[in-house]
């Protein structure tokens, strides 16, 4: 491995991995090395640019913790997250499309019964959400587990308010519930609003340098799991939002855009008398059955 030149270094690195016994790891690392070296040659990467890239990734790591995932934000804003999601979730066109998990999902959300208010005091206009979970053939999916989370009217998720001095955070506008026997679900929450992804760190600086904004259109997150069906991670986006065509993480799909219908004060779908305007959303999900193997 002596006297390696810029023309021979790629093959030298690949040869150094010849002892790798994990076929998939070897495939991944071979492609990664080839593409990285090709990238460096293509743009004639300077040493200053290389140092800047290392410092940038170091800053991404330093700001990342259990409440903030800057690496996911970086992946999201470069389109890598949606590319990976899309190519790993190819389904029949009748099925609900998948989109990114995003950086604000957390484990341990409280369980609610259908019809309950999952906002738990989160700020926002009242919103009543309902829908059905069905299989590809139209069959109702009973007992499907739904994870739901969203931002408040100021564009913040509960995890962003969490006090690092407290052992447990207070969950707001975040819940787990199950579909009823007929596959239906319904709950009360708040109206989602557009919000910027966290842009006070290195990813935000990158977006600014590229002339890009950090905004995401208003949406509600769903993660649905049911026996016999492929899991579904997706959003439902609010129709009319100004950022639908420029989502900072490239997650919008036309099939995931729905109408949040505004209502004057009156009787809500659950029979509650509302003294303020409120909104309703009705959206159905179609799950793909797990492939049967012989």
What pLDDT is recorded for position 104?
Answer: 87
Token pair, residue 186, equals 């319904």
Token pair, residue 184, equals 């239906």
Are 78 and 175 members of one domain? yes
Query: Phi-psi region for residue 250, left (φ > 0), alpha (ψ -120 to 50) or beta?
Result: left
- The chain-wide mean pLDDT, for the chain, equals 94
What pLDDT is recorded for position 293?
Answer: 43
- Write a three-state SS string for 7-54: CCHHHHHHHHCCCCCCHHHHHHHHHHHHHHHHHHHHHCCCHHHHHHHH
Token pair, residue 172, equals 């707001």
Structural domain contains residue 53: no
Are 167 and 271 members of one domain? yes
Domain CATH for 134? 2.60.130.10
Are 75 and 33 members of one domain? no
* Angstrom distance (rounded) from CA 171 to CA 110: 7
Structural domain contains residue 281: yes
Residue 184 in this model has a pLDDT that exceeds 50:
yes
Question: Which residue's entry shows tokens 């564009």?
Answer: 155
Are 108 and 222 members of one domain? yes
What pLDDT is recorded for position 165?
Answer: 62
Residue 1 in this model has a pLDDT that exceeds 60:
yes
Are 186 and 255 members of one domain? yes
Token pair, residue 54, equals 């290392």
Are 117 and 203 members of one domain? yes
Identify any residues that bridge with 258 across adjacent strands, giving them in sequence order: 238
How many C-beta atoms surround the C-beta of residue 177 within 10 A? 22
Are 16 and 92 members of one domain? no
Structural domain contains residue 57: no
Q: Which domain holds residue 16?
A: 6-45
| Per-residue pLDDT tens over the stretch 126-147 | 999 999 999 999 999 999 999 9
| Per-residue pLDDT tens over the stretch 208-257 | 999 999 999 999 999 999 999 999 999 999 999 999 999 999 999 999 99
Are 253 and 149 members of one domain? yes
Alpha helices by DSSP H, listed for the chain, are: 9-16, 23-43, 47-63, 70-77, 80-87, 158-161, 202-209
Are 148 and 195 members of one domain? yes
Structural domain contains residue 236: yes
Q: What is the count of structural domains for the chain?
A: 2
Are 22 and 129 members of one domain? no
Structural domain contains residue 33: yes
What pLDDT is recorded for position 160?
Answer: 85
Name the CA radius of gyration of the chain, rounded: 23
Residue 110 in this model has a pLDDT that exceeds 80:
yes
Are 21 and 98 members of one domain? no
Structural domain contains residue 55: no
* Angstrom distance (rounded) from CA 26 to CA 20: 6
Structural domain contains residue 50: no
What pLDDT is recorded for position 163?
Answer: 72
Structural domain contains residue 22: yes
- Asked whether 172 and 152 are in contact (CB, 8 A), the reply is yes
| Per-residue pLDDT tens over the stretch 30-78 | 999 999 999 999 999 999 999 999 999 999 999 998 778 899 999 999 9
Are 99 and 204 members of one domain? yes
Alpha helices by DSSP H, listed for 193-271, are: 202-209
């Amino acid at each position: 491995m002596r006297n390696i030149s810029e023309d021979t270094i790629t093959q030298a690195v690949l040869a150094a991995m010849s002892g790798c016994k994990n076929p998939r790891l070897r495939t991944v690392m071979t492609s990664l090395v080839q593409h990285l070296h090709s990238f460096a040659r293509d743009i004639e990467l300077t040493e200053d640019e290389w140092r800047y890239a290392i410092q940038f990734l170091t800053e991404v790591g330093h700001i990342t913790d259990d409440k903030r995932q800057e690496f996911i934000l970086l992946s999201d804003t470069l389109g890598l997250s949606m590319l990976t999601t899309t190519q790993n979730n190819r389904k029949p066109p009748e099925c609900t499309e998948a989109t990114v998990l995003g950086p604000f999902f957390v484990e341990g959300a409280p369980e609610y019964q259908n019809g309950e208010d999952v906002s738990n005091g989160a700020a926002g206009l009242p919103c009543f959400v309902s829908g059905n979970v069905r299989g590809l053939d139209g069959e109702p999916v009973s007992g499907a587990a739904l994870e739901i989370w969203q931002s408040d009217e100021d564009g913040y998720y509960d995890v962003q308010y969490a006090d690092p001095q407290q052992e447990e955070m207070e969950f707001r506008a975040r819940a787990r519930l199950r579909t009823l026997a007929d596959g239906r679900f319904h709950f009360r929450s708040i109206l989602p609003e557009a919000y910027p992804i966290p842009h006070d760190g290195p990813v935000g600086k990158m977006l600014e340098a590229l002339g890009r904004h950090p905004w995401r259109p208003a949406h509600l997150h769903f993660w649905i799991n049911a026996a016999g069906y492929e899991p579904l991670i997706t959003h439902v986006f609010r129709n009319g939002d100004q950022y639908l065509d420029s989502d900072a993480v490239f997650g919008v799909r036309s099939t995931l855009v729905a109408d949040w219908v505004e209502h004057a004060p009156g009787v809500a779908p659950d029979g509650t008398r509302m003294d303020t305007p409120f909104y309703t959303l009705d959206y159905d999900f179609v799950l793909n059955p797990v492939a049967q193997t012989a």
